[in-house]
């Protein structure tokens, strides 16, 4: 069966609960001087009309820290906008030239993997 999400603004008898989902991204091949604030600014620049609730960037240990740095970036958006957010943040045209980007998936046992 097809799922329906309500969009009426006239019916105010019940109210929906806002839920947040996270788009987890692995970003690498960044200059070693790149900091977390730089990634937050980058995400806010490319978000377009998507309402981003929070951006959490975590620096990861790189094999050659003098050459490049890598981050796990978690972009929290409203659940209804998750598919649109994945399309935007996984677009090659959104990220600066040469930056390596792919989805970041957490393993089921709790540890992270790229």
Query: What's the CA gap between 62 and 93, in Å, rounded?
Result: 25
48 in the Ramachandran plot: left (φ > 0), alpha (ψ -120 to 50) or beta?
left
Q: Phi and psi for 102 in degrees, rounded to 5?
A: -150, 165
| Run means of pLDDT, 10 residues per run, the chain, 114 residues | 83 84 93 92 90 92 90 92 91 92 81 58
41 in the Ramachandran plot: left (φ > 0), alpha (ψ -120 to 50) or beta?
alpha
**How confident is the model at residue 67, as a pLDDT?**
92
Q: Name residue 78's beta-bridge partners.
A: 20
Question: With contact defined as beta carbons under 8 Å apart, do 89 and 26 qualify?
Answer: no
| pTM, entire model | 0.78
The domain ranges of the chain are: 20-106
- On whether the 20-106 domain is CATH 3.30.70, my answer is yes
Question: With contact defined as beta carbons under 8 Å apart, do 94 and 27 qualify?
Answer: no
């Amino acid at each position: 069966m097809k799922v329906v999400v309500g969009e009426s603004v006239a019916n105010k008898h019940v109210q929906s609960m806002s839920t947040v989902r996270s788009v987890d991204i692995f970003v690498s091949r960044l200059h070693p001087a790149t900091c977390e604030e730089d990634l937050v600014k980058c995400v806010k620049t490319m978000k377009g009309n998507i309402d981003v609730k929070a951006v959490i960037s975590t620096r990861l240990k790189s094999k050659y820290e003098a050459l490049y740095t890598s981050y796990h970036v978690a972009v929290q958006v409203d659940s209804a906008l998750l598919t649109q957010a994945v399309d935007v943040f996984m677009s090659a045209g959104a990220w600066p030239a040469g930056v390596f980007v792919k989805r970041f998936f957490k393993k089921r046992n709790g540890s992270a993997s790229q």
